[in-house]
Amino acid sequence: MEAYSALSDLSVLSLDTAKGGWGGVLLAGFVNSIYIAVGAYVVGLAIGLAGACGKLYGGLVTRDLLEVYTTVVRAVPELILILLLYYAGTNGLNQLLSVFGAGPIDINGLIAGIAVLGLVQGAYSTEVIRGAILAVPVGQMEAGRAYGMPPLMIFRRITIPAMLPHALRQSLADRHQGHGAARRSRFHGTDSRHAPGRRCDQVLPDLLSCGGGSLPAAVDRLRYHHQADRGPLPARHDGTGGMTDTIAPTQSASSPLPERTSWFLPHRIVMIAIFVGLVVLAALTMRWDWLPQYRNELIAGVGRSLLMLFSSAGVGIVFAILLGLAQVAGPKPLGWLAAGFCGIIRGTPLLLQLWLIYYGVGSIIAEHRLYLKEEWPTLFYYSRQSWIYGFAALTISFAAYEGEIMRGAFKGVPRGELEAAISKVLHG
């Protein structure tokens, strides 16, 4: 009870540090969090715009390097990246300075946080902006080129305004689904033939404004550039008015380029050699004398991890089916509860959920341990096992993500098949 009374005492929020108040510290932390969030988002958008342009219009080496960057960053948990980049990056920078005879430096925590989170945000923004640019209909690019717009004007007056709705929609979806879902899927550009607003008359005000308002001149130039003998269609637009690889006129104007499967290009051989060198360097410089001593614990840990993985997935899929059915076919209040559960779980980090379950539920159990030990000995025994909290957190997270997948799968079943099944039951 003393713990609950301490928590209910709001004096800890006082700004007077002499009375034990932490309000000033909390307020300063809140302000720093806002600085880091805004700064990291701006840095991430700048990196994302540059990365998207590099992946769409850059050379083969640039595209491969950016592919490695986005894949690695989006595949590794953010917390691990923050720890690695902040601590290992600071240590590596100081070691590099020592090679040149300079002393160590103390990197400001605020700047380091903005830089690290900006790099993480940049990887996600790169794929979102890249897909948004690809979703801009090719005809709008051709309209700008036909009227003689320079590449930068096309990018500024056509590409950016047309891709913003796609980018904002996908960015909000990623925030709603969490970064875990963003890692599982990439936002690919839609076919320009089916993209909303694919007609060239959307850019007509821009064409008229840069051409003195002459509509006949615009029509004549468009007709000239759209003659039947103008050659093969562009395979994809580059967003800046340039035309890249071409395909036969019988193919779709937005057909994807064939995948590059050769690993023996010079720059890729260099990249593979650098990766192998880093692995060998780590294997030779790291200490491995502890491995025989903790071999049994490592083997047991791997087995326990696999057991938690498969057991949480097996139990989670059952709850996921129930969550999907509740949102599609259940009563509205139950559907709202299921949707809210999925939204909250997918919108918060898994590590935070694990901390809340382990420390929150664990502290409540600890307060009533004597009662549980006497009345519920089995529950008391399992509540003292740490793996049960990890199992619960993984099961809840898996159920929330798969629940949305099940909801989409149930909604994707054709209505005619359901009516046929109902008819079969009624007349069978």
**Overall fold of domain 10-225:** MetI-like fold (1.10.3720)
Q: Residue 362 phi/psi, 5° resolution?
A: -60, -40
Give the position of tokens 């007509």. 204
Output the pLDDT for position 98.
Answer: 81
Tokens of 325: 């059915």
Output the pLDDT for position 18.
Answer: 66
pLDDT tens, 213-229? 444 555 454 444 444 33
CB atoms within 10 A of CB 72: 11
Partner residues linked to 20 by β-bridges: none
For the chain, list residues with pLDDT below 70. Answer: 1-20, 170-263, 425-428
Output the pLDDT for position 398.
Answer: 93
Q: Residue 234 phi/psi, 5° resolution?
A: -70, 140
Contact present, 393 and 352 (Cβ < 8 Å): no
> Residue 104 region, left (φ>0) first, then alpha (ψ -120 to 50), else beta?
beta
pLDDT tens, 358-384? 888 877 877 777 877 778 888 777 777
Output the pLDDT for position 9.
Answer: 59
Where do you find CATH 1.10.3720.10 in the chain? 287-427
SS3 241: coil
Give the position of tokens 């290009």. 265
Output the pLDDT for position 39.
Answer: 92
Contact present, 164 and 105 (Cβ < 8 Å): no
Output the pLDDT for position 198.
Answer: 39
Tokens of 424: 């079969």
Output the pLDDT for position 417.
Answer: 80
What interhelical angle do 160-184 and 60-75 show, nearest 10?
A: 50
Contact present, 125 and 44 (Cβ < 8 Å): yes
Output the pLDDT for position 225.
Answer: 45
Return the closest-CA partner of residue 67 out of 284, 268, 357. 268
Q: Residue 422 phi/psi, 5° resolution?
A: -60, -40
Output the pLDDT for position 17.
Answer: 66
Question: 287-427: CATH homologous superfamily?
Answer: MetI-like (1.10.3720.10)
